[in-house]
Structure 1
Amino acid sequence: MSVKYSISQKGNPSKPEEPKKWYANAKASGEVTFKELSKEISQGSTTVSDTDAMAVLNDLNKLLARHLSGGEIVRFGDFGSFQVSVKSEGAETEEKFHASLIKKAKINFRPGSDLKDMLLTLKYTKAE
């Protein structure tokens, strides 16, 4: 298996006079649903049904949202960790900063060692 990619030409916005260069863009080759994952989990176990696995994954999703919205880092052992980060406008002084200057939040995922190692061994194929 390999990760498919396409290429596109892009310029440097801060240096528009420089020639454009070609860059790779990862292309998804499909997707896996929650239900499909639960079936795969159950196939690897003699005691867990796909319904049981689905229930656990649904609860995991709810708990992840609850803990992240409370500002906690959620660590999934060797899988990795999730944490909320924010982007804001700047204030001239610390006293002038207020929460309404926060414009965007996103969830950062930091992979564990197994996933990081997988990235080192990826193979690539140009998408057609």
Structure 2
Amino acid sequence: MPVQYSLSEKGNPSDQSAPKKFYATAKSTGEVTFRSLSKEIAGASTTVSDTDVLAVLNDLSKALAKHLSEGRIVRFGDFGSFSMRLSSEGAESAEKFNSSMIKAPKITFRPGIDLKEMLAITKFEKAK
């Protein structure tokens, strides 16, 4: 099934006089919950139940948060990697910078080979 998109008209924030252009935005066609994902994974296996998978995914989520909060990059093989990204206010010198100037920490996901291959073959269609 192709990924649906819609179009939105946007101006150039750095040049207010430039003509507006249309840009694509991916449209969600639903969501998958942790519980339904665990049932799907368990359904592909004859040795584990959805409860087992759910427990592992919950523990994975906790371990991911722990390692990211300790400044580590978490690599999931061919799936991809997670790391912390920071934005901060500027300081006039290194001596004048302090950690309270760090704003909006974010988690960055870098897809691995499997997801990059999926992106390369994904089809798109305009949402109705």
* 1:70-89 mapped onto 2 (5 Å cutoff): 70-89=70-89
Q: Taking structure 1 as the reference length, what is the TM-score of the superposition?
A: 0.98
Residue in structure 2 matched with residue 23 of structure 1 by the alignment = 23
- Residue 37 (str. 1) matches residue 42 (str. 2): no
- Percent identity of paired positions between Structure 1 and Structure 2: 65
Distance in 1, matches of 2:104 and 2:13, equals 23
Residue in structure 1 matched with residue 65 of structure 2 by the alignment = 65
Residue in structure 2 matched with residue 102 of structure 1 by the alignment = 102
What's the secondary structure of 2:95's corresponding residue? coil
Distance in 2, matches of 1:53 and 1:114, equals 21
Q: Taking structure 2 as the reference length, what is the TM-score of the superposition?
A: 0.98
Q: CA deviation at 1:125?
A: 1.1
Distance in 1, matches of 2:41 and 2:110, equals 23
Q: CA deviation at 1:79?
A: 0.5
Cα deviations across residues 75-114 of structure 1 (Å, max 9, x unaligned)?
0011100001110000011111100100110000000011
What's the secondary structure of 1:115's corresponding residue? helix
Residue in structure 2 matched with residue 48 of structure 1 by the alignment = 48
Distance in 2, matches of 1:6 and 1:94, equals 45
What's the secondary structure of 1:15's corresponding residue? coil
Residue in structure 2 matched with residue 120 of structure 1 by the alignment = 120
What's the secondary structure of 1:120's corresponding residue? helix
Query: Is there any run of 5+ residues in structure 1 with no aligned partner, and where?
Result: none
Query: Is there any run of 5+ residues in structure 2 with no aligned partner, and where?
Result: none
Structure 1 runs (4+) deviating above 4 angstroms are: none
Distance in 2, matches of 1:13 and 1:57, equals 41
Cα deviations across residues 48-83 of structure 1 (Å, max 9, x unaligned)?
100000000000000000000111000001110000
Distance in 1, matches of 2:54 and 2:100, equals 38
Amino acid at match of 1:112: G
What's the secondary structure of 1:71's corresponding residue? coil
